[in-house]
Amino acid sequence: MNVGRPAFSQIVDVIYRAQFDRCVSNYPMPRKSKSFTARDQFLCMAFAQLTFRESLRDIEACLRSQANLLYAMGIRGLVTRTNLAYANESRDWRVYFELAQVLIRKARKLYAADRYIVEIDEIVYAIDASTIDLCMSLFPWARFRKKKSAIKLHAMIDLNGSIPAFVAITEGKVHDVNALDWIIFEAGAFYVMDRGYVDFARLDRIHMAQAFFVTRAKINMSYYVRESRPVEKSAGLRSDQTIRLNGSKTKNLYRRDLRRISFLDTETGKRLVFITNNFEIDAIVIAKIYKARWQIELFFKWIKQNLRVKSFYGLSENAVKTQIWIAISTYLMVAILNKTLGIDQSMSRMLQVISVNIFSKDPIHQLLMKTHTRDLNIGIPNQLIFKDL
């Protein structure tokens, strides 16, 4: 007789009950619900993410059809569409924000020894934002343009495993560069971002934190050259210069030397110009660091393709943020399981197998070994290192 635990419970086990309860206690509900607790809500919503449920009614129907397994899955409350809707509307989304921070810390410890850019030992973070379009009539609180609503997902991922180190959810009209005001920069770390984040006052703050930035220069950047260094043109490099800004405004916002590197991408034929405050590492490594920024684009693409973050079970701001933070927590739980079990499968493959075996009591690593079909969909390869494009 099969006496194992459901695959769903094996995934959720990465969260310690005491940690979860601590997150819940920080944000109590105005009116407590004994029949449907925060843990019940989280488990139901995580189940929906793992099995791609379409609606609250869909979640209710699937779970109640397996009523004899709910206790083993940790669900003690009465699973109804009404209970789920009330919890999503009323329970503070910051409960799941706090839970995601716990999981982020755990995942980053597991992936700390991995190195995406082998030429340097420092941590490299990629920063970007992605917009999720919404219907104006249903989500008026997220006004973006005159006839359009949207929310924006700001993220900073640690390239050692593509683990999000920082995530913020805002209205769509909030500019990407504002995320730099919310990040606490680490001395010695590299922060790579596109030129939409070029704000020299904010870049100066990164420098003052003894951290390094790598970004692309804007076409109209005004500067003068103080020094030029020889470059290896066979590697695609065209120039490596020390510059100073001389724009009427920018020269007062960043009063230090900058390093300007011109690079010709032989694959696309495009000439890219990078600026950084690091003068120590080779110019070609700076180009590799910027190229690694593409990993955050793949992170957003993976999240949108494999988790439910583009359509929502509730219409309020609290319900939307609750769903997104539980989706991020689900991603992190699978990432942690991937590393702790040493599973040689992509994250997309893991979710596909888990989704159809969610009630199975076989160990997850055995479930993934039962089939040898290839995963042709884009996903996060082994150890969450994205394919280098």
As a whole number of angstroms, the distance between CA 52 and CA 34 comes to: 27
* CB atoms closer than 10 angstroms to residue 200: 21
What's the pLDDT tens digit per position in 118-157?
Answer: 889 899 999 999 999 999 999 999 989 888 999 999 999 9
pTM tops 0.75, yes or no: yes
Q: How far apart are CA 295 and CA 277, in angstroms?
A: 22
Residue range 209-266, pLDDT digits in tens: 999 999 999 999 999 999 999 999 989 999 999 999 999 999 999 999 999 999 998 8
What does the angle CA 371 – CA 373 – CA 374 come to, to the nearest 5 degrees? 135
Distant-in-sequence, close-in-space partners of 31: CB < 8 Å, separation ≥ 6: 90
Gap between the Cα atoms of 12 and 75, Å rounded: 11
Is the distance from CB of 316 to CB of 89 less than 8 angstroms? yes
For 85-117, letters b (16+ CB in 10 Å) and e give: bbbbebbbbebbbbbbbbbbebbbebbeebbbb
Residue 363 vs residue 58, higher pLDDT = 58
Q: How far is CA 191 from CA 126, 157, 188, 247, in A?
A: 6, 10, 10, 24
Determine the length of the chain.
389
pLDDT reported for residue 370: 62
Residue 63 predicted with pLDDT over 60 = yes
Output the pLDDT for position 371: 53
User: Which among 294, 380, 379, 301 has a CA at the least distance from the CA of 117?
Assistant: 294
Secondary structure, 3-state, 141-171: HHEEECCEEEEEEEEEEECCCCEEEEEEEEE
**The pLDDT value given to residue 3:** 62
Could you tell me the CA-to-CA distances from 82 to 192, 311, 321 in Å, in that order? 44, 19, 19
Beta bridge partners of residue 259, listed in sequence order: 242, 276
Give domain limits for the chain: 7-96+313-384, 115-297
What letter would DSSP give residue 218? P
Cross-strand pairs, 143: 149
CATH class of 115-297: alpha beta
Q: What share of the chain is helix, strand, coil (3-state, %, to 5)?
A: 45, 20, 40
pLDDT tens profile 68-126: 999 999 999 999 999 999 999 999 999 999 999 999 999 999 988 888 888 898 999 99
Are 6 and 361 a contacting pair, CB within 8 Å? yes
Q: How many CB atoms neighbour CB 372 within 10 A?
A: 5
Per DSSP, helices labelled H in the chain are 7-12, 17-26, 38-51, 56-64, 67-73, 81-90, 94-111, 200-208, 250-253, 283-291, 294-306, 317-341, 347-356, 364-369
Q: Which helix (H) or strand (E) holds 213?
A: strand 212-216
Helix (H, G, I), strand (E, B) or coil at 12: helix
**What are 312's strand-pairing partners?**
none
- 319: confidence class by pLDDT, cuts 50, 70, 90: very high
Residue 136 to residue 157: CA distance in whole angstroms: 30
Place of tokens 């984040």: 197
